[in-house]
Amino acid sequence: MNVPKPLRVVLLGKAGNGKSSLANTIFGNTVFKVSTFDSSFCVSESQTRQVNGKSLTLIDTPGLLAPDISEEDIKREMVRCITECSPGPHAVLIVLKVEKFTEHEQAVISQIYQHFSEEVLTHAVVVFTHGDQLPEGMTIQEYVNQSEGLSDLVQKCGGRCHVFDNRYWKNGEQDDYRSNKFQVTQLLNNIDDILQAK
Residues of the chain with pLDDT > 90, as a percent, come to 36
Q: What is the pLDDT of residues 41-73, one digit of tens each?
A: 566 788 899 999 989 999 888 777 666 666 777
| Dihedral over Cα of 131, 33, 106, 181: its sign | negative
DSSP string covering 66-90, please? -TTS-HHHHHHHHHHHHHHTTT--S
Provide the mean pLDDT of the chain: 83
Q: Where are the domains of the chain?
A: 35-92+104-197
Please give the Cα distance from 146 to 151 (Å, whole number).
8
| Yes or no: domain 35-92+104-197 corresponds to CATH 3.30.230.10 | no
Using 50, 70 and 90 to split pLDDT, how confident is the model at 97?
A: very high
For residue 147, the SS3 value is: coil
Please tell me which residue, 129 or 84, carries the higher pLDDT value: 129
Please give the Cα distance from 54 to 26 (Å, whole number).
12
Contact (CB, 8 A) for 21 and 104: no
In this prediction, residue 111 carries a pLDDT of 85
Contact (CB, 8 A) for 156 and 123: no
Question: Tell me, what DSSP letter sits at residue 29?
Answer: S
In this prediction, residue 11 carries a pLDDT of 92
Torsion of CA 21, 151, 189, 113, to 10 degrees: -70
Reading phi first (left if > 0) and then psi (alpha if -120 to 50, else beta), residue 158 is in: left
